[in-house]
A and B are shown apart, each in its own frame.
Chain A
Amino acid sequence: MLTVSNLSSGYGKLKVLYDLSIDVPEKELTVVVGPNGAGKTTLLCSIMNIANVFSGEILLQDSSIKGIPTHNLAQKGISYVPQMGNVFAELTVMDNLHMAGYMLSKSEAKDKAEQMTEIFPVLKKFIHRLAGTLSGGERRMLAIAMGLMKNPKLMLLDELSTDLAPIIAERVMMEVARMRDELGITILMVEQMAKRALEIGDTAYLLVSGEVKYSGDASALLHEPELCSMYLGIKHSSDKGKEFELSVMDEGSEDN
């Protein structure tokens, strides 16, 4: 579905990603993990033409999308849910959904918004409330619903679990897995909550200092003790001859 090859990109003259290549297969959940400052968000921003692309190619279904204005990428079926500022805080939940479906006709947007409130019942309760007054978890649900409003072929999710209580983050992760399994959406997810993301993901990329250190099966990365402990904060404790047990050193924080 999405192929990024030999991408070098960054902000202004600052280069963050170096010669990076990833492949996002159709109807799969591809996870990008890595330590802070690895360039995970920059990867998504490069795809969305928010960061500066210095070299390389970005193909969506074999046609180049490099340099296409952000608003036109939404029309091509790419839906981007940023890490921060992923809802319009000063608009109501309903207006947020309608803005997310900006390219749809009025009746289509209305139907789709109704569909979203059925998928995420919590939104129905707050439909006329300002999005800025929602809790962290509710806001994240709204952000995902906004992403789905566009009938996307590809969803780019940026650290959905940030600042969420572990139980809420788990619910968000389950929704992501449901979008792939039930709606058949191709997802490229950047995530700090590495363990859970790798458990639900199909393919994984470990990004360190703008370069890919691992690519392959998502769950297999969990069995790379050196990479996990060095870059992902996942500690492996092993008794002689026994299977690895995984524990997460630091996962999630308080809901805001």
Chain B
Amino acid sequence: MAPWLSSGLVYASGLALTAGSVTLLYIVTRTFNFAVASMATIGFYTVYTGVTLFGGLPYQYYPFAFIVGSITGFICYYGLNRPLLRRQAIETTLMMSTLGYDLILLSMIQMYADFLTHTYKIFPRRVTMSLFDFELFGDRAAAFILPVIAIGFLTILHIFLTKTKFGVAMRATIENPILAGASGINSDRVYLVSWIIGGGMAALGGSFMAMAMTGTPVMGMYTIPLMFAGAILGGLGSIYGGILGGLVIGLTEYAGVFLLSQQFGPWVLGYRMGIPLFIMAATLLVFPRGLSGIPLLKIIKNFAEQKRGARA
């Protein structure tokens, strides 16, 4: 596998999860969750702590990353989002409250990094997580394992949302909270579960992304524009759209950097973030409702009809 593709797949898998997290929390609670940045970093540090202190492979600590992320989501909902939603806070207030929460989490991450340095004499401020990886089919294992984990997670999420009573209730609440309440669905519980899943997805995504980039206490802050770009590219109306948006943003960043650096030289690397943002802007100009607004079925149907017509 080409290096840009293997790294791109790892990175894009993580970005897809974080963008999905941003979208999920936006469509359920109208909140643009800026804390996704630190939640992602927390996911990375959970896995890092596991491999450095207890040994083993990063993959075995991903469930812990999800759990720790879920706890941060739980705290954010009960501590901030729920009281503000009850006071009918506007979207800007909800958004700014998560920015405040992100800064608190960022401070705690910095303190935790210092704690690791002073207590265990390890250096967690610039970490190359791929060093803990192993080789598979002549390439880094993460390039195969992480997309599979991401697809597995999304399959479980899809089954949860479409086949379980609570999952369908979540979709019902997302679509029409008043009717859902009148049907006996406790929207408070739906919001809480969304934050738990959203926090877990962000942390899992962050721990994936750290396998392709340098893990630092500010890695979430550095990549948050791309997490939001993925969610916006997805159209902000569908979790699946957000996930697809994140995947496209992640892959185009790596593919774009590779192609442009071959053409113009390595100085292009400094502008790598501009490539996916340009792709996002161009896509939105053509499809203002994002990827989830593209009438894919209609396009496929038209294409099939045209082909049939050409054959006839």
Contacts and interface: CB of A to CB of B under 8 A. Distances in A.
A150 interface: yes
B168 A48 contact: no
B183 A99 contact: yes
Interface stretch (A70-78, A115-123, A201-209, A228-236): A70-78
A99 B182 contact: no
Interface string B166-194: 00110110011011111111110000000
Interface stretch (A17-25, A28-36, A86-94, A173-181): A86-94
Given A71-B186, A85-B176, A99 B181 contact: no
A86 B180 CA distance: 10
B165 interface: yes
Interface residues of A, number: 28
A65 interface: no
Given A50-B178, A85-B176, A91 B183 contact: no
A52 to B, nearest CB: 10
A91 B175 contact: yes
B175 A90 contact: yes
A99 B169 contact: yes
Contacts of B168: 91, 95, 98-99
A150 B165 CA distance: 16
Contact of B181 (A71, A79, A98): A71
Contacts of B182: 48, 70-71, 73-74, 79-80, 82
A82 B176 CA distance: 11
A73 B183 CA distance: 9
B183 A102 contact: yes
Contact of B184 (A85, A90, A95, A103): A103
A45 B179 CA distance: 11
Nearest to B168: A95
A86 B181 contact: no
Interface string A91-135: 100010011101100100000000000000000000000000000
Given A71-B186, A95-B168, A99-B169, A88 B181 contact: no
Interface in A38-58: 48, 50
Which residue, of A70, A87, A91, has the highest number of chain B Cβ atoms within 10 A?
A: A70
Contacts of B178: 50, 70, 82, 85
Contacts of A89: 175
B181 A69 contact: yes
B184 A75 contact: yes
A127 B250 CA distance: 40
A74 B187 CA distance: 13
A222 interface: no
Contacts of A212: none
Nearest to A45: B178
A246 to B, nearest CB: 34
Interface in B80-122: 88
A91 B184 contact: no
Contacts of A69: 181, 186
Contact of B179 (A12, A73, A85, A106): A85
A146 interface: yes
Contacts of B184: 71, 74-75, 102-103, 150
Contacts of B172: 88, 91, 95, 99
A90 B172 CA distance: 8
B114 to A, nearest CB: 44
A79 B181 CA distance: 11
Interface in B209-264: none
Given A82-B178, A85-B176, A71 B171 contact: no
A154 to B, nearest CB: 12
A91 B161 CA distance: 11
Given A71-B186, A91-B168, A91-B171, A82 B181 contact: no
Given A98-B168, A99-B168, A102-B165, A74 B175 contact: no
A12 B90 CA distance: 13
Nearest to B88: A12
Contact of B185 (A12, A80, A99, A106): A99
A82 B179 contact: yes
A74 B176 contact: no
A48 B184 CA distance: 11
A100 B88 CA distance: 26
Contacts of A91: 168, 171-172, 175
B235 to A, nearest CB: 14
For the complex of A and B, the 4 pairs showing the least CB-CB separation, nearest first, are A70-B181, A74-B184, A80-B182, A103-B184
Given A48-B181, A88-B179, A99-B169, 20 more contacts: A12-B88, A50-B181, A69-B186, A71-B180, A71-B181, A71-B185, A71-B186, A73-B182, A74-B184, A87-B179, A88-B171, A88-B175, A89-B175, A90-B171, A91-B171, A99-B168, A99-B172, A102-B169, A102-B185, A106-B165
7 contacts: A73-B182, A79-B182, A91-B175, A102-B185, A106-B165, A146-B183, A150-B183
Interface of B: 88, 165, 168-169, 171-172, 175-176, 178-187
